[in-house]
Chain A
């Protein structure tokens, strides 16, 4: 391999097929004189523009229907000619320099063109040089050269991460892997599970229990997840009424008044709330508005007056504090309004608990969050809630539903295959990688392969085949024609 050209932070390297270089590989351009190496990553493999090649191909291909024959080449020169024809130009992005076996994100240095030696470096070796800490590893899968790629739980701690890719590429699978990886290190994880995909986390692939069975708590609203009004502060119930049920301002003021009265009387329950609204002397329209919201709350089945059947997040978090655990909020088969009620409660309560330092921090995994999180929540989650210890991981197959400022603040992106240019354009707005890398590599990622970008891989984008998990798969699409031939 030879260094050919540099333009901006892109270098072109001449190589031959025998070098066996593919997209995503890392190459070290070593300048022996200064004992320094340029770290580059191949983002595209093109054919080298060799003079006379067109003539050659025209001669060989356009006539092949009518002309055939053989070449007698006793000295074996033809193999060298073919070698030239197959020469490749590797388009590489400069990722940094390696000085004294330590990678630095610095691309201002350029090695000698005439004497540089170029070698391939496995990504796990590069990352092992780059990583500050090797504690709490989470095995993501295998790199192209078959070695295990680990990130650390620290890479997810206090960070904003996005898992995205088109349908069926393995986003949810990776998300589950990260959830269980965190649980392994006694972290508390809350999963907003839109399609009930995470409900099998505590069940092995064969249907029995697995090592996570007692640490995964599936909460189905209206079933084993009910709350009482007494658990809830005014702020949480107001968020539900205002944001989930669109209660107007005047009615909100009246509700506050009713709530305070109930608090003074220590009669906070759904039944008492209904009675209080009924007896309220407020404007008829306000009372109607309050009644309609009240019945929405009642009909959601999410509220109970029985303190025994009410779910307490505090208690659940007490449990997960010891052993770690995942609370899976199963939002499957729940109407959009009820979903919003549950979400407003969950997030409001989480912030409240975190604010009271009852737990240190929570990792939130939100699948297709645009379907249940109001827009104003995005910024709130990303900017404000981070300081309370709520670390969010968004999982989506519609990258344009996540706002641009979130991409810009994302610490790591786990990118699966996208074919659509517009989707890639959206993801490429992430600040931690150049758009060319995203567009070039993500378009050709096979299913279950992921491009890791950002802090999780110390800003050295890496391709990985996500490893399998011994859990019951719940996210499979139900097929009409399945087993029809049997």
Chain B
């Protein structure tokens, strides 16, 4: 008997039936406009330092589960690409610091969804959304997180201004991931990052719901982490695949699933999907059997271009979400024109003090 999958669109977000007509979360746009319209400052100090972008994956990798000790074991599975047609969808979100005002920080968030259609890739870029984060409005932002279940524990403090940028990015990413989970059917869904839950940006209930929704629609979520702090038997987890013959999947068995509030919702694998020097930590939904997980990765191999063990769809999602220097200047111009902020470049203290003895950019500029 075929199990009747229980799926409904999430009423909170009113998600569309396919990535094609994915709608933007209205509260997110409103929040962006709200924070920007209430700028009290008249000047803006553009970020002159090298553009430091945060992809949302960064936060997950700060999870406290970092060491996998014995008696954990590893199992290597050789993979065969499965050529049966299956859609592949990837989601990524980037945030960047645009500048500062007297009251707070200006940042921009942008999301990208990329999916493979026959032999072509299609993308949808959402944003950029500028935000002005101040001590005054950070509670408003926090409220948005709470209203959308992205907050854990009553006693959890409002994050500081610097962390809110990444948190807003994560909020958008979860929204998009949920949208994809609800709309896609029998699809490989690629996330950037891990399946760590229990962090402020990844409440366990919400993360579980995301995975469950995808499962109910016969989709499998594969979360690729470019960087991992996980270590196995003293060595970096991804180094386990150094000598493995691609394409293969190395499963780490019996590792601790939780540490305090932090919980791993996925099984941890090391994926070496093609020849080259790269291999990645791959989290696959724990509630999906190992066989199904392997099938999903084999489907990915057969349906997407894999370069340096990384799926092209996810690479494109990353490329389309990140900000180039031109875009940063364009966003600064938008803010300046739209909200009447005068750009004033702050003197670079490090360059003034250290000159050629400074580090990195200020030494060469």
Contact = CB atoms under 8 A, between A and B. Distances in A.
Contacts of A249: none
A83 B127 contact: no
Contact of B120 (A52, A67, A72, A76): A67
A282 interface: no
Contacts of B316: 63, 67
Interface stretch (A53-61, A343-351, A392-400, A412-420): A53-61
Given A68-B121, A80-B330, A84-B333, 17 more contacts: A50-B326, A51-B326, A52-B327, A55-B326, A59-B319, A59-B324, A67-B121, A68-B122, A69-B320, A72-B125, A73-B125, A75-B128, A77-B331, A80-B333, A84-B326, A84-B329, A85-B330
Given A70-B125, A84-B330, A55 B24 contact: no
Contacts of B357: none
Contacts of B126: 71-72
A75 B131 CA distance: 12
A82 B326 CA distance: 9
A70 B33 CA distance: 22
A81 interface: yes
Interface string A36-67: 00000000000000111101100100010011
20 contacts: A51-B325, A51-B329, A52-B324, A52-B327, A66-B120, A66-B121, A67-B123, A68-B123, A69-B114, A69-B320, A70-B124, A72-B127, A73-B125, A73-B127, A75-B32, A75-B130, A75-B334, A81-B331, A83-B333, A84-B327
A74 interface: yes
Interface in B329-348: 329-331, 333-334, 337
B337 A80 contact: yes
Contacts of A84: 326-327, 329-330, 333
Contacts of B334: 75-77, 80-81
Interface in A412-441: none
B316 to A, nearest CB: 6
A56 B327 contact: yes
B122 A77 contact: no
A334 B35 CA distance: 86
A431 to B, nearest CB: 43
Given A56-B324, A59-B319, A72-B24, A50 B124 contact: no
B29 interface: yes
B126 to A, nearest CB: 5
Contact of A73 (B120, B122, B128, B337): B128
A85 B130 contact: no
A220 to B, nearest CB: 67
A130 to B, nearest CB: 37
A50 B24 CA distance: 30
B326 A75 contact: no
Interface in A95-139: none
A85 B128 CA distance: 16
Interface of B: 24, 29, 32-33, 108, 114, 119-130, 316, 319-320, 324-331, 333-334, 337
A207 to B, nearest CB: 61
Contacts of A69: 114, 121-125, 320
A53 B325 CA distance: 7
A78 B334 CA distance: 9
Contacts of A85: 326, 330
Contacts of A78: 330
B324 A75 contact: no
B239 to A, nearest CB: 31
Residue of A52, A63, A68, A82 contacting most chain B CB atoms (<10 Å): A52
A72 B326 contact: no
A410 B24 CA distance: 68
Nearest to B121: A67
A63 B315 CA distance: 13
A85 B324 CA distance: 11
Nearest to B115: A69
A76 B128 CA distance: 9
Contact of B325 (A50, A76, A83): A50
Contacts of B330: 77-78, 80-85
Contacts of A59: 319-320, 324
A70 B326 CA distance: 19
B130 A77 contact: yes
A70 B128 CA distance: 13
Q: Which of A63, A76, A77, A82 has the most CB of B within 10 A?
A: A77
Contacts of B120: 66-68
Nearest to A84: B330
Most chain B CB within 10 A, of A69, A70, A74, is at A69
Given A51-B325, A59-B319, A83-B333, A71 B24 contact: no
Contacts of B329: 50-51, 84
A59 B324 CA distance: 10
Identify the interface centre among A50, A55, A82, A84: most chain B CB within 10 Å of its CB.
A84
10 smallest beta-carbon distances between A and B, as pairs: A52-B325, A81-B330, A69-B123, A52-B324, A51-B325, A80-B334, A71-B125, A84-B330, A52-B326, A67-B121
B198 to A, nearest CB: 31
Nearest to A76: B334
A53 to B, nearest CB: 5
Considering residues B120, B129, B326, which has the most beta carbons from chain A within 10 angstroms of its beta carbon? B326
B128 A77 contact: yes
A56 B323 CA distance: 9
A74 B126 CA distance: 9
A69 B90 CA distance: 14
Interface in A338-356: none
A48 B41 CA distance: 30
A52 B319 CA distance: 13
A69 to B, nearest CB: 3
A67 B124 CA distance: 11
A85 B329 CA distance: 10
Interface string A448-476: 00000000000000000000000000000
Contacts of B319: 59
A47 to B, nearest CB: 12
A74 B27 CA distance: 13
Contacts of B333: 80, 83-84
Nearest to B336: A80
A82 B128 CA distance: 13
B124 A53 contact: no
Nearest to B51: A52
Contacts of B24: 72, 74
A49 to B, nearest CB: 11
A50 to B, nearest CB: 5
Nearest to B22: A72
Contacts of A81: 326-327, 330-331, 334
B189 to A, nearest CB: 18
A75 to B, nearest CB: 7
